Amino acid sequence: MLYKTFKGGIHLQTNKATDKKKIKPLPLPERVVIPVSQHTGKPSTPIVKLGDKVKTGQKIAEAEGFVSVPQHSSISGEVKEIAHYPHPVLGRDALSIVIESDGKDKWIKRKKHDYTKLARSEIVEIIKNGGIVGLGGAAFPTHVKLSPPKEKPIDTLILNGAECEPYLTVDHRTMLERTEDIIKGAKIIMKVLECDRCIIAIESNKKDAIEKFKNLIKDERIEVFTLKVKYPQGEERQIIKACLKREVPSGGLPMDVGVVVQNVGTVCAIYDAVHRDIPLLERSLTISGSGIKEPQNVKVRIGTILKNVIDNCGGYADGVGKIIMGGPLMGIAQYTDEVPILKATSGIIVQTEDEVSIEEEQPCIRCSRCVDVCPMRLLPCEIANYAEHHNFDKCEELDIMDCKECGSCSFVCPAKRNIAHLVKFAKNEIMSKM
Amino acid sequence: MEEKLTVSISPHIREDISIRRIMYSVVVALLPALFFSIYIFRMKVLTIVLLSIGAAVGSETLCQYLFKRKITITDGSAVITGILLAFNLPPDSPFWLPIVGSIFAVVIAKQLFGGLGYNFINPALAGRAFLMASWPKIMTHAWEIPTHGTLSGIDAITSATPLTVLKEAKGILADPLSSAQSIATAKQALFQLGSKTSLSNLFFGSVGGCIGETSALFLLIGAVFLLVKKYIDWKIPLSYIGTVFILTLFIPTGINSLFHILSGGLVLGAFFMATDMVTSPVTPKGRWIFGIGCGAITVLIRLWGGYPEGVSYSILLMNCATPLIDIYTKPKKFGVVKKKATTEENTKEKERLG
Ligand code: SF4
Ligand code: SF4
């Protein structure tokens, strides 16, 4: 059977060892570190002081402007510190609020909403106040995506259940364990966007999730699409192309072609915020890789320290070489395990020393493998050459800004060139000049 | 814990593939043709090939040592150059010929430009062109008739290469002063060349020719291996051979198209030399153009040029055109419907990266 897909991309060993493991809630952490910047956009501003007593779900930092979200305390306890702490994504210390648990997990007062009785703007407000961002990894504030301008009507909502990164199975598990909630969440989003088509897009290696959705959907506006197993199938542009054959214009956004894409985990968070009045303060993630004793899926409070999570998963195996936050293709290697779990942390992959081979770079042999796999149809080898020689004008001529940093090019390169890295470096240089 | 952690950039996994693996696969793919050649022409061929490889690898090591570059002879690329150069020599070559050719190929055409990846023409072909220009007699007249029994059981039809016979025969036919008898011989020769027996000889390998180009069959065995492994791209050989086939179908050449495909170094060139990654375009469209260009120039040289064979010059010429082809065949990037919202997203990106 021919599944829907896009052109280019790579076939990976999926290593989804944890896809049968139920999401396990971990015990409450004793301490959480909540950075004020966990999202794309302006960092939030702390609204608590040292020594303040906070409850679970209480807002502790306020959003700065439209493209920003607030932060909430994920446990109850006392504000111990507002200081700079290692940040897993920024790669440096960043302002964070440290809360020590009182062990009671006392919640703020919540009230249930009936979304059908809420106005669209009220729902968006709840989502914004819930601090919700894209949980797939990009961490883009969700309320921004759900507020397209009038002149860009949305006709299709795509729920991204592709989960194309190897090892990660948390979306798969979420789809199995919270199927109904996802369907309800989809209806909320459809109401907000005033669109009457929803596609749940899932890669063909998650047959059970596909079946479950098909059985439970009682609404002909919602369909399930089976996608080919290929990386980066979960990338917004590629999933839109696969489902609808539409190409998001270069430099544009999905809303330009009438589409909004939401990760399935985000949809659950939206459901929790709207239905149950729970802000985003916990998330599920996959802990896997050969450097982990007991790979599994866990649910943790945002701000839990990575090391504690690992300790709760039976600890490290011998000879840890690398800790990756996110998937092995786009994730970020950590220099310490004292970093907090963020809203957009979809997984932690620990590699052993043997797996961490830093192979020597050789000159490009122009084999064109990178060209063949680039999902954005760029010429990665040429861009990398120019980037290496700091010829950024040429890089721009070769459309470097369209690169989505998926890493497919580096993955296939027989010369082991760090193409994606060179591209990223050149992009930063170009942007800093703008 | 901390000090043991590797911090490197994504992606954190790489495909199990290396330059060395690709290069040695090409070497393996050339072996069937080499063994067959040894079977046909006996051990002399093996000596030539070994001398050629030795000279290529040796001069590469020396160059890298002198230029203070990293010694990379184990990557296998010099071995390929050595084999391919030998494949392009007559089986009766004097032993110094492969040595001189390989040294030229590696030193002048490859290392002086910066080594593997930086050379813009195929080293083996450059070596051959150099030998051809310097010692044309040896390069074209040292043919030996295959002496052993042949696969098809029929003895060789000519001691000259089929393409040379074709050229000479057509020369006789075109000359108004040719005697009636020589015209008859020429016609007879043409008829023989285009016959089924001749074609099957070309395919299975029992005609005069360079070391590596006698048997299309054994070359194809290796080529299929590379195609299946995806180490070479099918677009170039297909468009190359396709172009030769179609052109010779429509231009009256006095002989059928199959003859043109199977004779000379076309199969060797199309599958093993035109596909040299370093010197062919990286864009999909560029590869089509590259193959078509090679095909057209080959036919041009064979029909109207001064040499009986045009494969190596056509590839060399297209090698030179490769940078230009790449520039003009840049793929259409994803989402070029309309230009819009660029600044909006750029500011967002900027915000994200702080
Ligand atoms: S994959 Fe690597 S070696 Fe091949 S063309 Fe791209 S950069 Fe060059
Ligand atoms: S150039 Fe960018 S978009 Fe293309 S494969 Fe490389 S990282 Fe992905």
- Range list of H helices, B104-215: 123-134, 136-141, 162-174, 180-194, 196-204
**Residue A157, CA distances (Å) to A212, A251, A257, A264 in order:** 19, 20, 11, 12
- Using omega within 30 degrees of 0 as the cis cutoff, is the peptide bond preceding A249 cis? no
Same domain, A379 and A260: no
- Please list every residue in chain B whose beta carbon sits closer than 8 Å to the beta carbon of residue A381: 282
Asked if residue A316 belongs to a domain, the reply is no
- CATH for A165: 3.40.50.11540
Indicate the pLDDT class of residue B147, thresholds 50, 70 and 90. Answer: very low
What's the pLDDT band for B3 if we cut at 50, 70, 90? low
Q: Mean pLDDT of all residues in chain A?
A: 92
pLDDT for the residue B58: 95
Whether pLDDT at B144 is above 60: no
Whether residue A242 is predicted with pLDDT greater than 90 in this model: the reply is: yes
A297-301 long-range CB contacts below 8 Å, 24 or more apart? A297/A18, A297/A21, A297/A22, A297/A23, A297/A24, A297/A169, A297/A170, A297/A173, A298/A23, A298/A24, A298/A25, A298/A26, A299/A23, A299/A24, A299/A25, A299/A26, A300/A26, A300/A29, A300/A341, A301/A28, A301/A29, A301/A32, A301/A74, A301/A75
Amino acid B7 reads V
Residues A131 and A272 in one domain: yes
Cβ contact A164:A328 at 8 Å: no
Contact B337 A382 (CB under 8 A): no
For ligand 2, is residue A374 a contact (CB within 6 Å)? yes
Q: What is the mean pLDDT of residues A46-64?
A: 94
Buried b (16+ CB within 10 A) or exposed e, A119-152: eeeebbebbbbbbbbbbbbebbbbbbbbbbeeee
Going by pLDDT thresholds of 50, 70 and 90, the confidence category of residue B340 is very low
pLDDT for B242 beyond 60: yes
Of B6, B8, B351, the CB nearest to A42: B351
Question: Which pLDDT belongs to residue B215?
Answer: 80
Among A217, A247, A276, identify where a domain stops: A276
Q: How far apart (Å, rounded) are the C-alpha atoms in residues B227 and B233?
A: 7
How far apart are alpha carbons A98 and A116 in whole angstroms? 37
**Does the pLDDT value for residue B348 go beyond 80?**
no
- pLDDT grade for B205, boundaries at 50, 70 and 90: low
Cα angle B35-B36-B39, degrees, rounded to a multiple of 5: 90
Supply the residue whose CA is at minimum distance from atom 2 of ligand 1. Answer: A413
Phi first, then psi: give them for residue A50, nearest 5 degrees. -55, 140
Determine, yes or no, domain membership for A401.
Answer: yes
Residue A125 in any domain: the answer is yes
Whether A259 and A383 share a structural domain: no
Could you tell me the two tokens for B8?
Answer: 């490197």
A379 C-beta closer than 6 A to ligand 1: no
pTM for the predicted model, two decimal places: 0.88
Looking at the structure, do residues A270 and A388 belong to the same domain, yes or no?
Answer: no
What does the pLDDT look like over A403-426, one tens digit per residue? Answer: 999 999 999 999 999 999 999 899
| Percentage, residues of chain B above pLDDT 70 | 85
Q: Is residue A57 part of a domain?
A: no
Q: Does some domain include residue A21? A: no
Among B17, B282, B287, name the best residue to mutate to test ligand 1's pocket (greatest count of ligand atoms within 8 A of Cβ). Answer: B282
DSSP state of A389: T
Q: Please determine, for residue B338, whether its predicted confidence score (pLDDT) is greater than 50.
A: no
End-to-end CA distance of chain B: 30
The A222-227 sheet, strands edge to edge: A222-227, A198-203, A156-161, A259-263
Burial class (CB in 10 A: 0-12, 13-18, 19+), A217: middle
Beta carbons within 10 angstroms of residue A62's beta carbon: 15
pLDDT, residue B207, reads: 62
Structural domain ending residue among the three candidates A232, A256, A276: A276
Quote the minimal CA–CA distance from A271 to chain B in Å: 26
Domain annotation covers residue A56: no
Q: What number is the average pLDDT over the span B136-152?
A: 55
Q: Shortest Cα distance from B177 to chain A (angstroms)?
A: 53
Please indicate, yes or no, whether residues A373 and A271 belong to a single structural domain of this protein.
no
What integer is the mean pLDDT of A221-235? Answer: 94
- Chain A positions touching B67 (Cβ under 8 A) are none
Interface residue B304 vs chain A (CB under 8 A): no
The domain in which residue A155 lies consists of 115-276
Q: What distance in Å separates the CA atoms of residue A60 and residue A56, rounded to the nearest whole number?
A: 10
Q: What is the mean pLDDT of residues A242-260?
A: 93
What separation in Å is there between the alpha carbon of B114 and the centre of ligand 2? 27
Cβ burial, residue B195 (10 Å; 0-12/13-18/19+): middle
Grade residue B347 by pLDDT with cuts at 50, 70 and 90.
low
Q: pLDDT at position B176, please? A: 72
The residue among A251, A276, A301 that closes a domain is A276
Residues A231 and A380 in one domain: no
Q: B346 pLDDT exceeds 80?
A: no
- Number of structural domains (chain A) is 2
Residue B33: which of B205, B180, B231, B251 has the closest Cα? B205
> A379 alpha carbon to ligand 2 midpoint, in Å?
9
Q: Which two tokens stand for residue A30?
A: 């004793």
Residues A268, A415 within the same domain: no
Q: For chain B, what is the radius of gyration of the CA atoms? A: 23
Return d(Cα B262, Cα B271) in angstroms, integer: 13
DSSP string, A18-52: TTTSPPEEPPPPSEEEEES--SSSSPPEE---TT-
The strand ranges marked E within A279-419 are: 282-288, 296-301, 320-325, 332-333, 347-352
Using the structure block, give the residue that is written with the tokens 């199975």. A169
Q: Per residue in B174-187, pLDDT tens? A: 777 777 777 777 77
Rounded distance from Cα A365 to ligand 1 centre (Å) = 6
A77-86 and A198-203 beta bridge pairing: unpaired
Please report whether residue A339 resides in a domain: no
pLDDT at B342 over 60: no
Q: Which residues of B touch A410 (CB under 8 A)?
A: 10-11, 14
Q: What's the pLDDT band for A432 if we cut at 50, 70, 90?
A: confident
Ligand 2: residue whose CA is nearest its atom 8: A406
What are the chain A neighbours of B281 within 8 Å (beta carbons)? Answer: 368
User: Is residue A354 very low, low, confident or very high in pLDDT (cuts 50, 70, 90)?
Assistant: confident
From the number of C-beta atoms within 10 Å of its C-beta (0-12, 13-18, 19+), residue A11 rates as exposed
Residue B85, both tokens: 């150069």
Confidence of residue B149 (pLDDT cuts 50, 70, 90): very low
DSSP A299-335: EEETT-BHHHHHHTTT-B-SSEEEEEES-TTT-EE-S
Q: Which residues contact B178 (CB under 8 A, 6 or more apart)?
A: B172, B186
Q: Closest Cα to atom 3, ligand 1: which residue?
A: A364
DSSP assignment of A132-197 equals -B-TTTT--BHHHHT---TTS---EEEEEE---SSS--HHHHHHHHSHHHHHHHHHHHHHHHT---
**What are the structure tokens assigned to A33, written together?**
């570190």
* Residue percentage of chain A with pLDDT more than 90: 82
Tell me if A362 CB under 6 Å of ligand 1: no
Residues of B in contact with A332 (CB under 8 A): 10
| A405 Cβ inside 6 Å of ligand 2 | yes
- Domain assignment of residue A90, yes or no: no
Cα A106 to Cα A110, A201, A280, B86, B120, distances in angstroms: 12, 38, 16, 82, 70
Of A98-102, A156-160, A346-350, A428-432, the range with the lowest mean pLDDT is A428-432
Determine the pLDDT at residue A84. 95
With a 6 A CB cut-off, is A54 part of the ligand 1 pocket? no
Q: Do A249 and B341 touch (CB under 8 A)?
A: yes
* Residue nearest to ligand 2 atom 1, measured at CA: A380
Nearest CA to ligand 2 atom 4: A374
Predicted confidence band of residue B341 (pLDDT cuts 50, 70, 90): very low
Half-sphere exposure of B306 (CA within 13 A, CB side): 3
Q: How far A129 CA sits from the closest chain B CA (Å)?
A: 20
